[in-house]
Structure 1
């Protein structure tokens, strides 16, 4: 979980973004941190906004969405989740 609840706007600074990727669950850390290092700079501005919005969500929700236990209620965030998962599948 983020130390302080941050808005997507405060995460435009890449250093803050990388810090926000450090989650309370290892399963999320291994998804978010490499994604920022390897793919974030290549995203469209809309995708970057969606990713930053995703980082403002609570860890239990993120875990459930990424593991497929629940469906994310936001279509744009669902697309970002699917995109991120497609990059880590072998």
Structure 2
């Protein structure tokens, strides 16, 4: 049996996987791999920003990630930039 903390981490990861299922394929291919490969490496503050990013509307996310618009929130904009940097590596 997993310790309580590990159970919470697994639940959080499952929630993130589910929230990453977006209505646009372009977003799915950004979010799903990020959660699998990078989410655990984020500090708690970055994880909170990422969770907040997931609450944004798909059209806004699409515009930010495709460079059609700049995210007005500096924390979210930094998370978008971090995710884009990871994709380009």
Partner of 1:17: 16
SS of the residue corresponding to residue 13 of structure 1 reads helix
Task: Could you tell me which runs of 5 or more consecutive residues in structure 2 were left unpaired when the two chains were aligned.
Answer: 1-10
The Cα offsets for residues 44-71 of structure 1, whole Å up to 9 and x where unpaired, read as 1111001000000000000000001011
Tell me the TM-score normalised to structure 2 length.
0.86
Task: Say which one has the larger Rg.
Answer: 2
Task: Could you tell me which runs of 5 or more consecutive residues in structure 1 were left unpaired when the two chains were aligned.
Answer: 1-11
Aligned length: 79
SS of the residue corresponding to residue 21 of structure 2 reads coil
Tell me the TM-score normalised to structure 1 length.
0.85
RMSD: 1.0
Question: Segments of 4+ in structure 1 off by > 4 A?
Answer: none
